[in-house]
Every structure is written in structure tokens, then in C-alpha cells.
Amino acid sequence: MRGHNEPVLEVKNLCSYIPTSRGVIRPVNNISFSIGAGEIVALVGESGSGKSVTALSVMGLNSPSIKYEKESIISFKGANLLKMKKRQMKKIRGNEISMIFQDPMSSLNPLHPIGKQIAEPIQLHQGVSYKKAKKIVLQLLEKVGIPDPENRLNDYPHQLSGGMRQRIMIAMALACNPSLLIADEPTTALDVTIQAQILNVMKELQKDTDISILIITHDLGVVAEMADRVLVMYCGEIVEEGDVYSLFQNPQHPYTKGLLASVPKLRGASEKHLHTIPGTVPNPLELPKGCNFSSRCSFATDKCLSDAPDLIETGKDRRAACWQIVDSQKEEVTVHA
């Protein structure tokens, strides 16, 4: 594990809501976490868990229909990004915090050659000419493993494969030496051998530049491969947090346990029947009254159905939100007393 002295990003009580005619939806409901310098943090969860909304909140790119409760804080180098003016935010976005998206084809402009596109943030934030920026672009292309970069500068996105496009996206994101990179499902759209290449590029770059990475994914394999620390989200809340080794070895929340158990194993003989989490993710307008996971949890008790558990400390660098854990901790205390 790397040392995380001063956190680069600190999210506190992030609470977002969308007022609709049928009620209020809370895509992200009171989450807090931090990312240390040089740390890779993974945000995992299924669709609708709020992981992408969290990422876009940091970037200030959420749709204006998403509002934030006033106690929400996203603090980056001491400043609250949520309170920032648009102009100030523009100076940070793409410069100090940058992002790569799932689909590299739709996030690149099809009408401009890639060299120009990678140079754009450099020209914008450093006020240099294309000629000067080009030098940096060539270095970046080399860094992300594009062969023969000189001749690729004038290529258009459609001339490149999916893997190459994602490398271009990474080059663009790194153009201004950001201190935080947000990667939203960076390899989901790619083939598996290409995914391995891209993950490798990201790891190497992280080692070289000591950048912090927030990686958003639904793939537990990618998490295990990349992350130092893991945040598991469900229905807009963090249900479990821990360093990657202890979380995979000893998941505490029933949802994390269920997720890990439902991945078919690649090693050894195939299991006859896969473990499943029953039911589906609840409708955000009809969340259960107590714990959000109670409707699908096989350990749910009456208490789980009526009260929501808090995210509490469960060990060194571990947090989880489950009554079962709260109760077992209490028992321990009484035994010791």
C-alpha cells in the first residue's frame, strides 16, 4: 500500500437529489470518502448504484437537474468544488482533474484529427501554440503505447481501433499532468486482450507519475487487478469500504459477499449452480424503508426492514453498513466487559 498522507480529494456527506413528479430520487445519498496521493480507489456497484453520478459530481459535469444538499462537500486541494464558479471549475477540469469515459468513440470528436484533440487541453490550460503542444502530444502518445506517433497525429478517430482510441483518451486526460484521474468503466467496451493492455498502461502510468486514480467499474476482476482501496456502492450509498486485499478475502457486507460469490470462477472445475443475489435492484422511487439491501438480503431481520444501518468502522481501514456487524460488535464488547 502506498502512503496516503494528505488526501487529494475528500468527499463529505455528498447528497444529490432529483425532484421528479413522482417523488425525489437520490442518486447519491450521503457518501463520504477520500483519495490519497498516488492511491487507486475503485468504486464498484451495479447499474443505478450512483457510481457514475459520484464521478460526474467531482467533475462538475452532472446534468443541471441533479441538485446537491447544502452540506455536501467535494474538497479538492482545500477548495469545495461544489461551491465553485463555472469559470474556476473550467480551470480545474481537464487540467488538475481529468476523466476518461467508457466509450472512446463517442467521447472523441470525429471531425478533428487526434493530435489536435490531445493538444486542445494543453493549449487551453497552458496557453501555448499547437506547435509547442505537439511536442508534448508526441511524448504522451509514446507513453500510452501508440506505435509510430508522428504518423498518427493526423489520423481521425474512425481510423483507430477501440483500444487505440482508449489510449488516445488516456493521453488526452494526462495532457496537463493532473493530480486526479477519474476513469469511468474505462475498459468495459473493449475486448479482453485489449482490456489487459489498457489496464497495464494505466498501471504503468500511475507508477511513473504518482497520479491518484478513481476507477469506476462493475467488474470485480478489474477492481482486484487495479485498486488499492475499494468502495462498494448500492442504491446511492457506500455499503462497504476496505483495502483491496482484506475486502476480497473477508467481505463483510452481505451485498459484497453476494457479488463476489456470483462471479463464475475461471480456475478449477465449474460450479454446478452459481450463487445469486435474489431479486433486482429496487426502484429508486420505492426504496425499502430500512436498509436498502434488506429486500434482497438473506440475513435481513425486522430491524433491517425498519431502520437503516450507518456505515461504521469495522476494523483497520474497514467500514461497513450492516446491522449484523453492528450487533456482533456489541456482543464482543459485552463479552470483553
Partner 1 sequence: MPEPLISINEVKKYYPIGSGLFSKKGKWLKAVDGISLDVHRGETVGLVGESGCGKSTLGRMVVGLLEPTAGEVIFEGNSLLSKGRNKRDLGKKIQMVFQDPYSSLNPRMNVANIIAEPLVLHKMGTSSERKKRVDELLEKVGLTSAHGSRYPEEFSGGQRQRIGIARALALNPSLIVCDEPVSALDVSIQAQVLNLLKEIQEDMNLSYIFIAHGLQAVKHISDRIVVMYLGKVMEISETDQLFEQPLHPYTEALISAVPEPDPTVRNRERILLSGDIPNPANPPVGCRFSTRCPLADERCKREEPQLEQVSEGRWVACFYHG
What residues line the site for partner 1 (CB under 8 A)? 46-47, 161-164, 191-197, 199-200, 218-225, 227, 244-245, 248-249, 258-260, 262-267, 269-271, 273-278, 280-281
Phi, psi of 167 (to 5 degrees): -65, -40
> Checking DSSP bridges between strand 7-20 and strand 23-36, what pairing results, if any?
antiparallel
Pairing of strands 318-320, 237-243: antiparallel
User: Residue 318 and residue 206: Cα distance in Å, rounded?
Assistant: 24
DSSP bridge pairs for 26: none
Residue with cell 506547435: 131
Q: What gap in Å lies between CA 98 and CA 155, rounded to an integer?
A: 23
CB of 24 to partner 1, least distance (A): 21
Tell me the CA distances in angstroms from 295 to 193, 236, 261, 290, one per residue in order.
38, 16, 18, 9
Q: C-beta of 281: minimal distance to partner 1 in Å?
A: 7
Pick the closer one to partner 1 by CB: 8 or 40: 40
C-beta closer to partner 1: residue 68 or 234: 234
Nearer to partner 1, 5 or 151 (CB): 151
In the complex, the smallest distance separating the C-beta of residue 274 from partner 1, rounded to whole angstroms, is 4
**Cβ of residue 166: shortest distance to partner 1, in angstroms?**
11
We find the least distance from the C-beta atom of residue 287 to partner 1, in angstroms, to be 15
Euclidean distance between CA atoms 20 and 30, whole angstroms: 19
Q: Is the Cβ of residue 127 or residue 268 nearer to partner 1 in the bound state?
A: 268
Chain-centroid distance, C-alpha 157: 25
Pairwise CA distance, residues 133 & 123, whole Å:
6
Distance CA 209, CA 259 (A): 33
Minimum CB–partner distance for residue 176 and partner 1 (Å): 28
Residue among 47 and 151 whose Cβ is closer to partner 1: 47
Q: Which is nearer to partner 1, 24 or 274 (CB)?
A: 274
Residue 225 CB, nearest distance to partner 1 (Å)?
Answer: 4
Tell me if 199 sits within 8 A of 187, measured CB to CB.
Answer: yes
Half-sphere exposure of 201 (CA within 13 A, CB side): 25
Q: Which is nearer to partner 1, 89 or 194 (CB)?
A: 194
